[in-house]
Structure 1
Amino acid sequence: MMLEATVKMSNKEKFLSHYGMIDFSHDKESFVEKRRAAEKALKGLEFPTSKTEYWKYTRINKLIRESYQLGPADVDSDIDLSVPTKNCLVFVNGYYTDELSWTEAEAGIDFMPLSEAKEKSDKLKGSFDSLTKKEEIFSMINTAYHQDGAYLHLKKGKAAESVYYIVNISAGNQPMSNPRNFIYLEEGSSAKVVMKHISANEGNSFTNQLSEIFVEKNANLEINKLQSENDDAYQISNDEVSQEGSSQFKMNTISLGGGLLRNNLNLDLNGEHIESWMNGLSLLHGKQHVDHHTLIHHREPNCVSHELYKTIADDASTGVFNGKVFVHPIAQKTNAYQSNANMVLTDDASIYSKPELEIYADDVKCSHGSTTGQMDEEAIFYLRSRGIGKKKARAVLLNAFLTDLVEQIGVEHLREEVQSVIDKKYSGVK
């Protein structure tokens, strides 16, 4: 009797099999070549394990073993996006959704789905995939299998009048999406961008986002990324940023919801007199797990970087921060500040923090620090002695802990939205 041999698929093979039926033949050949190169690179890459230092505190076994669905989904047209702006692109499960989007053209600014830009933009053709980390498996998955994303290009000297919103919605039964964003500010231009990630319903989802961001000389860009998905949502996010001389860039990452969130933010400072801000605010509850990894390369002299990440961890949640500042030998007169502050509200909450400096220049001013603690009982006692109730006193302290980060949000409506979440979340804190 002959026995049939069964071949067991590896976790990677099973995960990548989700993409087997996708047809990207509509892409121009140059972009198809990028996809093919990424698929080839994936053969030599493996998912991180508990032994991978870069992923030491974030386990993704459950994420990669889930079964997901690819494809668009219907979303109620009345869904509240909280977007008070003239320009908003909406993507559902990675696919552009015209009926939920609206744009109002500004001269000197191109804002459109990436799929459309692939047909029209020489800037995209010349720079697409140039910042992608080829050794990062999730970045290569995105390059190979991204569905769509946002394209924003500001021409030289253009100051955007509108805030530009990019909204990603996870909807339906265990959706999987790979949004790809491309943002390019030419010399002397300026803009503010909001990226929102929300869930239309309960249930598992997986979002694997990658953004390539270019900031030319004397340009000024602020990006606010708001993660507000349900407690069963997984998200891996890679943001790759290149700055040129005398430019300014700020990224505020605001993590309010999601089961497992991993944010990789990488900055390359490729000129003198650059200023950079990397900020993170995480409010964790239940069994949420949020991991922020940052890397900033000071490659030229006379640059300044500011990094401030704060987490409040409640229940059995986990917060992770690993930030590295790399100062190259030529980068004299570097001024780099890095701080991670955390507050745990229960004995079951966990924080893992590792700020790092790697300095190869001798004339620099660099500092880093990390603190993790509980509520200040003396401060609570003081407030209570002034007639403030215990719950109110604790809420006052938590608000004060987050104030400097909330004030970094340069989009008024978003700042008010985040403050409202903080007020509601901690109004009845124990």
Structure 2
Amino acid sequence: MSKLKVGIIGTGFVGAAHVEALRRLGNVEVKAVVASSLESSKKAAEKLNVPAYYADYQEMLAEEELDVVHNCTPNYLHFPVNKAFLEAGVHVFAEKPLVMNTKEGSELLEIIADKNIYAGVNYNYRHYPLVKKMQNQVQEELGKLFHIQGHYLQDWMLFENDYSWRVDPEKGGKSRVVADIGSHFCDLLQYLTGKKIKRLIANTKIVHPERKRPLSEVKSFARAEKEVEYESYQVETEDYASVLFELEDGTAGNFTVSQVDAGHKNDLFIEISGSKKSLSWSQEKANHLFIGHREEANQDLVRDPSLLEGKAAERCYYPGGHIEGWSEGLKNSIKDFYDCILAAGDPADYDFATFADGQQEVKITEAILKSSREQNWVEID
């Protein structure tokens, strides 16, 4: 079987991680990359050992015969890049959020409806082994769902001189923390329960109304340098959000997302409580699943493929005691998408997030912003 030919647009932290994950699959060939300029594209191609590079994605589209493109660009480019390649009949695997607003999402879904094409969004936390195990237990052993709680906390925007393109609404969108990491939490809880968020009430806050924007480029998650020159920047996007929600079956829940919580690097945590037991999982302790009981000892299930079954076991690559985490979750996310393409399968039979799932997260983000602005419950269609 010939290898699928792949292009990568965006070669920062995430784009480079996509290239590494793709090479671990074995049935794909990364043919070309696009970065922010021709010079940057050339440097990225050399660093990542990719044969071709282009000044922009339109040039790549015109010159390369690609089967799949990975869209790892800043948020404002998600829609035009996704649209261009979908219209050309190229399968698209995009980073989140899918788009900047639901109008853009609806247009992409219309394109997909008219073409025999696959389109996925990288909500990679779905694809950890113990998340799959947790999903099975939630749907088969937890009993009636009582409550869901959790958080996604980071600290890389803690100080007033922390800055990223995500702060700029023109590049990142009207939402920052909710669109960036809140969408991950919402996708995860809906994946685990099989239920959509139906209504919510939210409160968002801007901790630093004014930030110091560096006059030179600073990479995301990078440590601020003392010698950098700054200018004042008025912030419009939230640093923090707290949300109460109800699922479509009436199950209640709450979560907090923040990028200004000192000491929390990538702290995604979710707990689901039911009538028979409770389950909780933390991304920073991804090889452990807590199982809580009322009348027997609690359990700490440690990732071990010999003790798991089905897809949970298939998502493990090393024996028990050999720690797996974020890079394996990303690989599994991409692998699931490619397995569907190669089998000409039905996305409903696979676990990757579709563009319809991505559109759902954009709807939730817009509802959170509206609720915080109006201080009311908001229904999600």
Report the TM-score when normalising by structure 1. 0.26
Which entry has the higher C-alpha Rg, 1 or 2? 1
Which protein is richer in strand relative to its size? Answer: 1
> Which structure dedicates a bigger proportion of its chain to helix?
2
Structure showing greater relative contact order (alpha-carbon pairs closer than 8 Å, 6 or more residues apart): 2
